[in-house]
Amino acid sequence: MADAVSAEKLFSELYEAAGAGRRLGEGIAARAGQTQARWQTLWTIGAGPMTVPQIARRLGVSRQHILRLTNSLADEGLIEQVVNPDHKTSPLLKLTPAGRDVLDLINHGAKDSNELLLQQLSGSDVDQLRTLLQRFTQIVKSMS
């Protein structure tokens, strides 16, 4: 059975991995004139129209943070509001064609990075890591 020190080490490794991933993502997004936070927001909206609260929950950040980002993305013509049939005061946000182009550009840059990563990790390594992270996330969410 793991002890408290093991849990501390696990969180330490997760924070370091998250930081390394953010730094890599910032570099990738910067090539398209974006930040990682804007990329994550575009990517989340790219999966299908969502409200600000839905995006915030998905990304684990505050609604105010997402509202600032989405207002900026809308001002630049990368996303637009559409009517939400389920909630009159919380519009759905979707990518514009320009937003799709920016997201595709960033994702293309990420593809090269992902391919380099996958040269170091096998498919089964990635599957195992994803499964463990999903389980870890579920446990942590159930505790809060």
CATH number of the domain residue 59 falls in: 1.10.10.10
Q: What is the pLDDT of residue 72?
A: 97
Segments forming the whole domain that contains residue 60: 23-106
Q: What is the pLDDT of residue 3?
A: 80
Domain annotation covers residue 62: yes
pLDDT in tens, 31-41: 999 999 999 99
* Number of separate domains in the chain: 1
Q: How far apart are CA 11 and CA 133, in angstroms?
A: 12
Q: What is the pLDDT of residue 1?
A: 62
Domain annotation covers residue 34: yes
State percent of the chain over pLDDT 90: 85
Instruction: Pick out the chain residues at pLDDT < 70.
Output: 1
Q: What is the pLDDT of residue 87?
A: 87
Domain annotation covers residue 130: no
Q: What is the pLDDT of residue 57?
A: 94
Alpha helices in the chain (DSSP H): 4-30, 36-46, 52-59, 63-75, 97-120, 123-143
Domain annotation covers residue 127: no
